Amino acid sequence: MKRVLLVITLLGIVALVGCAKATPIISEGFGILGAEIGYVNETENEVIYAGVSGAAQIMIVNGYDMERDIKLSLVSPNTVKEGFESFPKQYFSWITMSPMEFHLAKGESKAVRVTLSMPMETDYINKKAEVRIRVEDVGQTGIVQIAVEARWYIVTAE
């Protein structure tokens, strides 16, 4: 069976906290916290098989500076970790995020469930891929606009 290893790491100003109990205080801007990402299902540690879904939770944290309208999307990166390839866009339908759009008040946080459902029949085997989860404040205006991304590594076995 095919196996998939799911791990979220960070880019830029994003903070990763494994099994975090409390949400840290961010005074300005917004960020992503990865929480309890070590297990993606109840029976296996960090693996998922073809035909089975695995889920992880990330926490979107807003600073106390302003309210934000957040939108999440998947991005196929141009530059990936050595030994990995960009996760093909044709397989993006395997990944769902809930919710994908929401409003955050000043200092508010929102949990987002990210689920990978790899179909039983797939040709995407023996691969190491990276996909990015992009978090944008769609209410931004001006020349400079900021988005943060989390890396998600997907490793499939033969």
Bridge-partner residues for 156, per DSSP?
Answer: 4
pTM above 0.75, yes or no: no
Distances (CA, A) of 12 to 30, 32, 41, 84, 104: 12, 11, 28, 20, 21
- Domains observed in the chain: 3-156 (2.60.40.10)
Specify burial of residue 14 (Cβ count, 10 A radius: 0-12, 13-18, 19+): buried
Bridge-partner residues for 59, per DSSP?
Answer: 33, 111
DSSP code of 13? T
Show pLDDT as tens, one digit a residue, over the chain (158 residues). Answer: 333 323 323 332 233 223 334 555 666 677 776 533 333 334 343 555 677 777 888 889 888 888 999 999 999 999 988 888 999 999 999 999 999 999 999 999 999 998 888 898 888 877 888 888 999 999 888 888 888 888 887 877 66
DSSP code of 70? E
